[in-house]
Amino acid sequence: MDFNGKVALITGGAQGIGKAFSIALLNEGTKVCICDINDLAARKFVETLPDILQNNIIFEKFDVSSFSELEAVFEKVISIFGKIDIVVNNAGILDEHNWRLVIDVNCIGVINGVKLAFRYMNKNNGGQGGFVINTGSNTGFEPFELGPIYAACKHAINGLTRSYGTEYHWEKTGIKVNAICPGPVDTTLGHSFPDKSLDKEVAEKHNKVVKFIKPEEVADALIFLLKENKNGALLRIDHNGKRFA
């Protein structure tokens, strides 16, 4: 795809993987709205960008689990940029001690983003079609004994992505749906995993030996996935590289 002039909405776009996604898309010539609950992190991030990129980015504070709040963000982005071409459902947490919140953010939040993307980007509803990219995880393919609820949500994202990423939905809407599924990433979430897992001692041992992926590597994979123009694809990425599942 040609990124120049495109408009992207990224949930959880101010930190970690989302921040890397934002920078990668900005560098490709895309206008970006970063949506995040952490307004301080978002404003600090925007301030660090060169002036030429600051002109192409806006920030909206919202709670991803609230359909109405995210709907208001979609409306705001369209009022400013005129359209939305790419929706990246990236916001996520890992906290097995607060598992209902994990479901609200990692599962309900993604569903909210997909539903709204299909409303506002639908070529048969005044939109121009485009792409939805969901941030999944390698834990969406296999057991994750230290984070069962997190893994359950990531399994759900895989099913959601494959089900919406079909010819049926593409022909009706002009929207392609894919997911990027990284292994452990060098972010605050990744390093705080032991305290948020079911077994801190075992998780600390895990983090000492695991090979973390840089957020920039995940962002490179996002650009690759968009350029591949696929639909219903799950792109896995770890220290061995990237591959379609």
Q: Catalytic amino acids?
A: 150
> Phi/psi of residue 127, each to 5°?
-90, 180
Distance CA 102, CA 150 (A): 7
Mark 103-130 as b/e (b = at least 16 C-beta within 10 Å).
Answer: bbbbbbbbbbbbebbbebbbeeeebbeb
Identify the helix (H) or strand (E) that includes residue 112: helix 109-120
Query: Both tokens of residue 155?
Result: 């399994």
Chain centroid offset of residue 207 CA? 23
